[in-house]
């Protein structure tokens, strides 16, 4: 998985203000002025950040004059923003419950489509301190004195963590519950936490293959029962898109179709996501 770049940070919108479809620049002031670009706004789960940067690049190449901007955050936060009226064209969630919330509110246009799956893994800092606890399993991470960090229960990775722990018969006692999986990863990578539960894709993005630390910031430890909590990622065109003219919903649908295409699926597979 490619790391985040300056381009990604410039695209990240945070709280979106203004129309989801904007014209870049003013009307042409001279005959030689370039055609204005159309901006497509995509709300994507935090675990999709790196992959969607690459997908956006490919989509823009196939659709000259289109610029994709995205708001990357926890799925529950994105759903709340959409319900609060934040303009967006496409929503890609890391789980079905948050997508169901958006659908129940009538904010989508068309049936959400599953496009990827993901499972959790345990991560520890690649650079461990001398007195760091020995962690080789979920049971070790849940032991007394271990600084374990997980996602908050309302976040997809948090629900998955609870399901994995329940299946293993392990009671988790995290020192903190984070708003997104990238926040969990950051605390582990920095050494602020001894261990964390993140998606396999996020561990890979930090250079943490199972049992590998070379060149990475975390070490990934495979969970024996990871398949007990498989998150399915759905994507949909949002109803707000239809309010901006007849051409825009079609453009948003083209982006969804691109994610579902062979090219889009190849990007996701290379980044560690499972098939939908």
Q: Please, which pLDDT band fits residue 276 given cuts at 50, 70 and 90?
A: very high
pLDDT, residue 208, reads 57
Only one residue has tokens 């024996």, namely 224
Residue 36 carries which DSSP code? P
Is residue 75 part of an annotated ligand binding site? yes
Do 232 and 96 contact (CB within 8 A), yes or no?
Answer: yes
Please list the residues that pair with 117 across neighbouring strands.
232, 274
pLDDT tens, 232-243?
999 999 985 444
243 membership: H or E segment, kind and range: none
pLDDT, residue 168, reads 97
Q: Please, which pLDDT band fits residue 9 given cuts at 50, 70 and 90?
A: very low
Q: Domains of the chain: which residue ranges?
A: 38-116+232-271, 118-230
Of the candidates 221, 226, 224, 248, the one whose C-alpha atom is nearest the C-alpha of residue 237 is 248
3-state secondary structure of 108: strand
**Edge-to-edge, what's the strand order for the sheet holding 176-178?**
176-178, 148-151, 195-199, 120-125, 218-221
Q: Please, which pLDDT band fits residue 132 given cuts at 50, 70 and 90?
A: confident
User: What are the tokens at 59?
Assistant: 């989509």
Mean pLDDT to the nearest integer, 86-95: 94
User: What class, spelled out in words, does domain 38-116+232-271 have in CATH?
Assistant: alpha beta
Say which range, 2-6, 53-57, 121-125, 210-214, has the weakest mean pLDDT. 2-6
Distance CA 53, CA 215 (A): 22
- The sign of the dihedral angle between the CA atoms of 222, 195, 208, 201 is positive
Is residue 47 part of an annotated ligand binding site? yes
Distance CA 157, CA 197 (A): 8
Please list the residues that pair with 109 across neighbouring strands.
237
Task: Pick the more confident residue, 34 or 130.
Answer: 130
Is residue 181 part of an annotated ligand binding site? yes
Q: Please, which pLDDT band fits residue 182 given cuts at 50, 70 and 90?
A: very high
Q: Where do the DSSP E strands lie in 8-104? A: 38-45, 66-73, 90-92
Say whether 118-230 and 38-116+232-271 share the same fold: yes
Do 84 and 37 contact (CB within 8 A), yes or no?
Answer: no
CATH 3.40.630.10 fits 118-230, yes or no: no
Distance CA 205, CA 14 (A): 21
Is residue 20 part of an annotated ligand binding site? no
Cα 6 to Cα 3, 9, 12, 119, distances in angstroms: 10, 5, 10, 28
Which phi and psi (to 5°) does residue 27 adopt? -60, 150
Which phi and psi (to 5°) does residue 214 adopt? -55, 120
């Amino acid at each position: 998985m490619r790391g985040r770049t300056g381009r990604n940070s410039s695209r990240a919108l945070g709280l979106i203000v203004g129309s989801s479809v904007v014209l870049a620049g003013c009307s042409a002031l001279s005959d030689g002025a370039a055609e204005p670009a159309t901006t497509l706004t995509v709300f994507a789960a935090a675990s999709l950040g790196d992959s969607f940067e690459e997908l956006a690049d490919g989509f823009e190449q196939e659709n000259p004059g289109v610029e994709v901007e995205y708001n990357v955050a926890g799925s529950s936060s994105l759903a709340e923003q959409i319900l609060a009226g934040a303009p967006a064209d496409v929503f890609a969630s890391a789980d079905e419950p948050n997508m169901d919330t958006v659908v129940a509110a009538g904010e989508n246009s068309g049936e959400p489509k599953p496009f990827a799956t993901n499972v959790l893994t345990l991560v520890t800092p690649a650079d461990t301190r001398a007195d760091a606890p020995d962690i080789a399993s979920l049971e070790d991470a849940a032991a007394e004195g271990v600084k374990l960090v997980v996602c908050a229960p309302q976040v997809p990775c948090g629900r998955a963590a609870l399901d994995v722990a329940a299946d293993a018969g392990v009671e988790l006692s995290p020192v903190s519950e984070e708003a997104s999986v990238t926040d969990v990863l950051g605390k582990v990578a920095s050494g602020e936490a001894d261990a964390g539960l993140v998606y396999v894709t996020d561990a890979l993005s930090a250079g943490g293959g199972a049992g590998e630390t070379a060149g990475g910031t975390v070490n990934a430890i495979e969970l024996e029962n990871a398949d007990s909590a498989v998150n399915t990622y759905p994507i949909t065109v949002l109803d707000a898109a239809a309010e901006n003219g007849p051409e825009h919903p079609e453009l948003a649908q083209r982006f969804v179709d691109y994610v579902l295409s062979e090219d889009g699926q190849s990007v996701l597979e290379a980044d560690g996501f499972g098939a939908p």
